[in-house]
Amino acid sequence: MEKAKIVIIGAGIIGLAVAAELSNSNDSVYVFEKNRRTGLETSSHNSGVIHSGIHYPRGSLKAELCVKGNSMIYELCKDYGIPFKKLGKLTVAVGDDEIRELERLRKNGEDNGVEGLKLLDTDEVRKLEPDIIVDRAIYTPSTGIIEPEDLMNHFLTKIQKNRATVAIETEITHIKKNDDGYELIGISVGERFSVQAETVINCSGLYADRVAAMAGMDIEKLGYRIRLCKGDYFRISGKPPVKMLVYPVPTRDGLGIHMTPDLSGSVRLGPNTYFVDGIDYKVESSEREFRDAVKRYLPSVVSYNIHPDSSGIRPKLKSQDNSFRDFIIKHEEDNGLPGFVNLIGIESPGLTASPAIGVYVADMYENDIKR
Ligand SMILES: Cc1cc2nc3c(=O)[nH]c(=O)nc-3n(C[C@H](O)[C@H](O)[C@H](O)COP(=O)(O)OP(=O)(O)OC[C@H]3O[C@@H](n4cnc5c(N)ncnc54)[C@H](O)[C@@H]3O)c2cc1C
């Protein structure tokens, strides 16, 4: 049987970022990916936003790793010539309730260490974005956009330079714990295979709960069950109505239908939020839902043509009462699985946080796991 020091299951942006970091100072790092290419799932079905970190509760991994990841990504872009645009974002409020929520958000952002936040009135907003008509907004200068594929390619190049291995069309189907670590069994390019790993890092995105269950974990009891939460996008045809990112104040269900320019300037609306039973990227929502949501802050949307664009699926961790769930990034030693690390529920801001998650997991490996 083949032997590996570290096996990472899943080559989305998180598995790639973790592998890029770990292979800096470790030999024998393998990444197994079931698809015919890396990054074909959530990592290529998202908004491509480099988030600032204003949304997440203080002290959470989401807040810490988003704020760190935000500045790390801009550094990487500058150092390696990765295209990006630091466009800035407006989070807009209409009515007193939303203004109160906006003020809470600004305080939260400042507590999380997000710099340069400014509260703007109606006229100040219109100077920046003439078609946006709202009562107040927060301006966040550190929000930007990137093409996720470019960042994944950066991590892949680093992995190849460090002589680690990415095996595509290789799906792990069984995990058996033994005295030397874990035997991973699966199918690689149509053939059954197995590998013995000292350390296993589960970065399998929408399947991360299933992979944890393969290793024998009670995912219900541990709160690791994932629900698939889809978001559709529509695209505005013709001249873009905004240059910056424009978001409504968030609701309990998520960030709300927002406007995101891509690197070419073309603007997408969305994503919205609804739960699904299976993985299917067909846009299922109505144009009306999108127009009505955006009309509240961009009245001129009625005169634009919009058409279905794409969708993505979030790996949402279940919570009893719709309350906040943080990323799970955990060495499972206390659950009887030394050397097994779970990354579960890595929804937004996972893309932004990815380089910081790489460093976080590499530190965990060096300090708690390495023999
Ligand atoms: C609609 C939407 C919009 C988003 N927008 C943003 C944004 O603007 N900014 C931001 O920061 N974040 C955003 N995110 C979040 C971000 O996209 C994710 O956090 C990130 O892509 C998760 O990456 P991942 O590697 O964990 O998952 P994935 O990309 O899903 O990768 C997991 C990989 O594991 C593989 N795999 C699974 N099981 C196995 C197995 N048994 N054997 C082998 N391989 C396996 C899969 O094939 C897959 O390639 C968004 C997410 C969604 C859904």
Q: Which tens digits make up the pLDDT trace of 71-108?
A: 999 999 999 999 999 999 999 999 999 999 999 999 99
Contact 1, 19 (CB under 8 A): no
Q: Output the ligand 1 site: residues, CB below 6 A.
A: 9-15, 32-35, 39-43, 45-49, 51, 171-172, 203-207, 211, 231, 271, 312-314, 346-352
User: How far from 162 is each of 19, 151, 326, CA to CA, in Å?
Assistant: 10, 17, 31
Average pLDDT over residues 217-223: 97
In a 3-state reduction of DSSP, which class is residue 131?
A: coil
Contact 347, 316 (CB under 8 A): yes
What DSSP string describes 269-293?
E----EEESS------S-HHHHHHH
Per-residue pLDDT at 319: 74
Measured by CA distance, the residue closest to atom 49 of ligand 1 is 12
Query: In angstroms, what is the span from residue 279 Cα to ligand 1's centroid?
Result: 13
Alpha carbons within 13 A on the beta-carbon side of 135? 12
Residue 127 has pLDDT above 70, yes or no: yes
How confident is the prediction for the chain on average, in pLDDT?
96
Residue 294 has pLDDT above 90, yes or no: yes
Measured by CA distance, the residue closest to atom 13 of ligand 1 is 348
Measured by CA distance, the residue closest to atom 14 of ligand 1 is 348
Residue 348 has pLDDT above 90, yes or no: yes
Site to substitute for ligand 1 among 44, 46, 229, most atoms within 8 A of C-beta = 46
CATH 3.50.50.60 region(s) of the chain?
Answer: 2-45+149-225+324-369
Rounded CA gap, 172 and 188, in Å? 9
Q: Domain 89-141+226-317 has what CATH class?
A: alpha beta
Measured by CA distance, the residue closest to atom 21 of ligand 1 is 43
Average pLDDT over residues 289-317: 96
Q: How confident is the model at residue 320 (pLDDT cuts 50, 70, 90)?
A: low
CATH 3.30.9.10 region(s) of the chain?
Answer: 89-141+226-317
Antiparallel, parallel or unpaired: β 226-236 and 267-269: antiparallel
The dihedral region occupied by 205, where left means phi > 0, alpha psi between -120 and 50, and beta the remainder, is left
Q: What percent of the chain has pLDDT over 90?
A: 95
Query: In angstroms, what is the span from residue 346 Cα to ligand 1's centroid?
Result: 7
The fold adopted by the segment(s) 2-45+149-225+324-369 is FAD/NAD(P)-binding domain (3.50.50)
Per-residue pLDDT at 1: 77
